[in-house]
Structure 1
Amino acid sequence: MNLVAILDHFGGLQPTEWLGYVASAFVFTTFSMKTMVPLRVIAISSNVLFIAYGYLHPAYPVLLLHLLLLPLNYWRLRQMLTLVRETEAAHDGDLDMNWIRPFTTTRAMTPGEVLFRKGDPANEIVFIMSGSLRIAELGIVVPPGEVVGELGMLSPDKVRTQSAVCVDGGQILTITYDQVRQLFFQNPKFGYYFMQLSARRLFENMTRVQTEIETLRGVAKRTEDFQPAEP
């Protein structure tokens, strides 16, 4: 078929046939999409155009196919938009603990109780609901609403890097690392929260180490400055 024949063919198309070509172009566009939300939007548009084409032409197999694909693409788009909203909510606010309670074990802690020691096997995360914990090696107190023990999940040897001692009586929630891994994939808000929590704790540790290094350098410099001259 030469170019003139192709132009004649397209010039003689009926409006319903143009619908089929435009819908096909939308399908082709979906294969070039790099992100899921625009892909689903274009896919829904192509479904609508193909439904109109299949009804008006008529082409019932095409009509039936896209009548089935339209609700599927719409459902997937809703899922992706929900995922985006939950991720933004996790970024902007704290994690709501109500939904996570069924996956946790609640227990009381007494003053002076050692939750775990440095070098112990790490297998759970601790959410402090009331009371407070003292991290012995760092000399800091962790207040209610905070989380401890999350970095053990990321460490290669899966051991505690610090010790946690109860300062006063309170209540904690514990969740095992295996349950955390399951929730990480089942609930995107929790997964994003866990990544934020781990990153924040790593940056805090880096800042603390850097401060200690600067303090030691300052002490060493002052020692050199006040060192008596040799006779």
Structure 2
Amino acid sequence: MTWVEAIGWLGAALSISASAMKTIIPLRCLGIATNVVSLTYASFMGLYPSMTVNLVLLPLNSFRLFQMLRLIKKVKTASKSDLNMDWLKPFMARRAVKKGEILFAKGDSASCMFYTLSGRYRLKELGIELPQGHVVGEMGFMSPNNRRTQTLECIESGEVLSITYDEVRQLYFQNPEFGFYFLRLASERLFNNMEKMEAEIARLRTTQAAAPIKEQVSA
């Protein structure tokens, strides 16, 4: 066996190994190695169709690997900071929203989440206005019955980004690290909401306890 044939067999082995990978990053790494080895073999053997295929796949695999590594880095940074989810924006679709439009209603089946780019939005049941740059609807992904617990209304025309839960699941299963950090982000948001609710309950109890005292003083 010549060294050129050995390179060919190495390319074949790498290609088989890449097909056996269960997660996206090892698959892309082996794909890049396969492209380099196969391109070398095809060059020496004058296999122009194979050269063309690998010349196309090499930059494509490299770009996809870079994209996923950048995503994981941003998710890690976000999970350690202020729960900012800007890292998800490149995977979302932009849409315009008009004043008075209901993006989702309480009890609806939940299938996507939103990122507010511009305009003003309000959770009707809670009476909470959401700021720009806010992710809303992500908890439906974690809900057992995938039902909305609030109604989101647009009170000033603007734009939002949206991503379906199916697309989130694809990102989730493509890379375990992404899934872990997404779960962490969702959990931290849930606990933050619980803390706000507890603070509001405590405030209401304080107000109710102070009311009888004021009545006695007035009397």
Q: Could you say which residue in structure 1 is the equivalent of 2:205?
A: 217
Q: Indicate the larger mover: 218-227 or 155-164.
A: 218-227
**Which residue of the partner structure matches residue 99 of structure 1?**
90
After TM superposition, the structure 1 stretch with the greater mean CA deviation from structure 2, 184-193 or 106-115, is 184-193
Partner of 1:185: 173
Unpaired runs of 5+ in structure 1? 1-81
Cα 1:193–1:108 shift into 2, 3 Å: farther
**Residue number in structure 2 paired with 1:141:** 129
What secondary structure does 2:114 align onto?
Answer: strand
RMSD of equivalent CA atoms: 3.0
Structure 2, unaligned stretches of length 5 or more? 1-68
Q: Give TM-score scaled by structure 2 length.
A: 0.56
Q: TM-score, normalised by structure 1?
A: 0.54
Distance 1:133 1:139, change over 3 A: same
User: Measured at CA, do residues 213 and 105 of structure 1 come closer, stay the same or move farther in structure 2, by a change above 3 Å?
Assistant: same
Following TM superposition, by how much is the alpha carbon of 1:204 offset from its aligned partner in structure 2, in angstroms?
2.5
Identity of aligned residues (%): 41
CA distance in 2, matches of 1:124, 1:201: 17
Structure-2 change in CA distance of 1:173 and 1:88 (3 Å): closer
Cα distance in structure 1, aligned partners of 2:197 and 2:76: 31
Aligned partner of residue 182 in structure 1, secondary structure = helix
**Amino acid corresponding to residue 217 of structure 1 in structure 2:** R
The equivalent position to 1:112 in structure 2, one of 79, 100, 110, is 100
Question: Is the Cα–Cα contact under 8 Å of residues 90 and 192 in structure 1 kept in the other structure?
Answer: no
Supply the distance in 1 between the matched residues of 2:184 and 2:156 (Cα, whole angstroms).
Answer: 28
Give SS of 1:141's match. strand
* Match for residue 168 of structure 1 among 151, 156, 169: 156
Q: What SS class does the counterpart of residue 96 from structure 1 fall into?
A: helix
CA deviations on 1:33-60 (whole Å, 9 max, x unpaired) are: xxxxxxxxxxxxxxxxxxxxxxxxxxxx
Aligned counterparts, 1:123-142, within 5 A: 123-142=111-130
Q: Secondary structure at 2:150's aligned position in 1?
A: coil
Q: How far off its partner does 1:224 sit?
A: 3.5
Using the TM superposition, give the Cα deviation of residue 125 of structure 1 relative to its aligned residue in structure 2, in angstroms. Answer: 0.9
- Aligned positions, number: 146
Q: Which has the larger radius of gyration?
A: 1
